[in-house]
Amino acid sequence: MTAAGPDDARLIALFLDMLAAERGAARNTLLAYGRDLEQASAWLDGRLGTAQAPELAQLSAHWAGLARASAARKGSAVRQFLAFLQSDGIRADNPRRDLAAATAARPLPKTLDPRDVDRLFAALADRLAAHPGDPRTLRLAALIELLYGSGLRATELVSMPRHAVRPGRGFIVLAGKGGKERLAPIGSRAEAAVAAHAALVPIAARHLFPSRNGTHLTRLRLYQLVKELAAAAGIPPDRVSPHVLRHAFATHLLEGGADLRTLQTLLGHADIATTQIYTHVASKALVELVNARHPLADRKA
């Protein structure tokens, strides 16, 4: 297998430039697309840009032994690349239909039972009662309240600016995926927890959760803190993570009657299809909602 040919390398670079300029793709996304396309080009001896059905069949054969999610990602990259070449007039046709699609099975998100959430917050309350005013405990309380109360992503949380939370405003302005700004809700509990923690953070600090080296708390440390609290609450640590708390936020809102469009906004999802995964998690509650609220629910057959 050789490297991508010079023509392919130029076309891949143009495609990545388009993703960055027109779609605002994040750096990690660009790196992933670049790797997948360079590898596909190498498998075709530098002929990805001019590939036809036989060459695309070769790619499908190469991907046959990969995990379904990996094959689906690589196929998506190539199909978007070929569509770009046609839309920019670099080639007249678009043979992407000849590329066998490997559909990735989207796993159901892990979540927590409301009783487990209660246990988690009970353990947090015990720590606050035992160590009132302790900076590390107040920081942990603010982190947990924002994860479950606002449904933040781990990166959004740890990188939050020092003055992102303003009393009484009811929402936070965040830098979401791809650097795009989004609004996240913040309830009175989370606001109070953040205020107690922020009172101990230097006014000149750039981040709400600063680290000793002048940047901010790392995602790894956040994961460790969440799992330590889970263990203290008697919950197996492998069942709890920052992302699980975000999923719990979404699932419990849906079970409480929130609609998918509202949930999409609260979670900062660009595509409603991403939000729809929660309907599988909360399907029992949705069936009960239909049976209770539908106009025909109280009529006898």
Is 246 labeled as catalytic in the residue annotation? yes
Identified catalytic residue from 182, 246, 247, 252? 246
Is 243 labeled as catalytic in the residue annotation? yes
Is 223 labeled as catalytic in the residue annotation? no
Give the separation between CA 69 and CA 10, rounded to whole angstroms.
Answer: 27
User: In 10 A of CB 188, how many CB atoms?
Assistant: 11
For residue range 149-188, list pLDDT tens digits in order: 888 989 999 999 998 898 888 888 887 666 677 788 888 9
53-63 vs 68-87: helix crossing angle, rounded to 10? 160
Identified catalytic residue from 177, 207, 219, 239? 177
Q: Which domains does the chain have, with CATH numbers?
A: 6-98 (1.10.150.130), 114-289 (1.10.443.10)
* DSSP H or E segment with residue 171: strand 171-175
Q: What's the pTM? A: 0.60
* DSSP H or E segment with residue 301: none
Check pLDDT > 50 for residue 68.
yes
Identified catalytic residue from 74, 119, 153, 227? 153
pLDDT of 104: 46
Give the separation between CA 29 and CA 80, rounded to whole angstroms.
Answer: 13
pLDDT of 276: 67
For residue range 35-63, list pLDDT tens digits in order: 999 999 998 889 899 988 888 888 887 78
pLDDT of 102: 46
For residue range 22-32, list pLDDT tens digits in order: 888 888 889 99
Cα dihedral sign, 218-220-226-232 = negative
Is 115 labeled as catalytic in the residue annotation? no
* Burial (0-12, 13-18, 19+ Cβ within 10 Å), 47: middle
Give the separation between CA 75 and CA 262, rounded to whole angstroms.
Answer: 32
Q: What are the tokens at 249?
A: 């936020």
